[in-house]
Structure 1
């Protein structure tokens, strides 16, 4: 069960690490999101967003190997994917590139829900 939890956290971590490539600049951000990032303020905000996703992705991936980090990683991952999916649901009409992000977040959500359920099932056995 521990290996399955780790695998699920790695998948969620990789999904959160994908936007880190946005640090490379406007061209990479445009490829990720299908938008123009020629405005410098927006470029700064989106590159900073890439850093934050990198931190969360690194936490999720690290938690796959350090069980003490798992509760915080799972909570952070859930807040991330649920908030994005809610915002996407409340804002119809997003582009095809962003639709791919929505699908990736659904995959991350499934991984995180399964990891949490398995973690909760395993927890009593580990402490007793």
Structure 2
């Protein structure tokens, strides 16, 4: 039962991380995610690459839901991905409502992963 709960949490965290992958489709999708203008080509390239990387992290977390041996790496990637964004958003001082929304989602995702980590340790 514990492994099922851990798996569900990994899938949820994976979907949360993978959702921004829609940004790889272009500036319009990135604007819908972050509320910013991505008409400058270099910024668009960087953000599309970020979208791909988040999609890969999300995919890894979903796979880790079904592969116990990948879960330690999944915890590391998930926490690093989500908490680094939260830290960067807070360090900047006054994030926009869009960025605050992303940070809040990442805090929720990190809290879920923390529950899974506790369950993982208890199961061992």
TM over 0.5: yes
TM-score of the superposed pair, with normalisation by structure 2: 0.96
Structure with greater Cα Rg: 1
Q: Does 1:70 pair with 2:54?
A: no
The unaligned stretches of length 5 or more in structure 1 are 124-128
Q: Kindly tell me the number of residue pairs found equivalent between the two proteins.
A: 123
Q: Secondary structure at the match of 1:2?
A: helix
TM-score of the superposed pair, with normalisation by structure 1: 0.93
After TM superposition, what 4+ stretches of structure 1 lie above 3 angstroms from structure 2? none
The one-character-per-residue Cα deviations of 1:50-76 (angstroms, maximum 9, x if unpaired) are 010011000101111111110101111
Q: Could you tell me how far apart the structure 2 residues matched to 1:56 and 1:9 are? A: 11
The one-character-per-residue Cα deviations of 1:17-76 (angstroms, maximum 9, x if unpaired) are 110000110000011000000000000000000010011000101111111110101111
Q: Could you tell me how far apart the structure 1 residues matched to 2:94 and 2:118 are? A: 33
State the match for 1:93 in structure 2: 94
The unaligned stretches of length 5 or more in structure 2 are none
The one-character-per-residue Cα deviations of 1:65-112 (angstroms, maximum 9, x if unpaired) are 111110101111111112111111111221111111011101111111
State the match for 2:15 in structure 1: 14
